[in-house]
Amino acid sequence: MLLAGGEPPLRLDLREDLRTRIGQTLIYEIQALSDEEKAAALRRHAIERGMLMDPGVVHYLLRHGRRDLPSLMAMLNSLDRASLEQKRPPTLPLLRELMQTSFDLDKQ
């Protein structure tokens, strides 16, 4: 069972027996990644896929792409796929093309 809340279990407004039982389980605080951590995750993902690319690609993606990590990873995967299909290196111009195409598709 997975429970989520905006406060630690002991601060929740619940029946006392529920609050203490939930409070005895494993509790994790999830924090959003900083831009530096997102960049590191993207670079690591690119390396795992065997992509050799300019660091400016990650920087551009963080500045102009969607901010959530799943969307950033999806765009990186699309860049890798397009690079292989078109036999072009994963460069900033190719990323711009993909992002423009993606933007155009979102508008339809």
CB atoms within 10 A of CB 61: 22
| 3-state class (DSSP) for residue 66 | coil
The pLDDT-based confidence of 103 (bands split at 50, 70, 90) is: low
Measured between alpha carbons, how far is 75 from 107 in angstroms, rounded to an integer? 17
Q: Helix-strand-coil percent breakdown of the chain, rounded to 5? A: 65, 0, 35
Q: pLDDT tens-digit profile of 8-45?
A: 888 888 899 988 888 888 888 888 899 999 999 999 99
DSSP characters for 5-30?
-SS-GGGS-S-HHHHHHHHTS-----
Q: pTM, whole model, 2 decimals?
A: 0.72
Measured between alpha carbons, how far is 55 from 92 in angstroms, rounded to an integer? 10
Q: pLDDT tens-digit profile of 62-83?
A: 999 898 999 999 999 999 999 9
Cα–Cα nearest to 61, from 81, 35, 82, 86:
35
Residue 71: per-residue pLDDT: 94
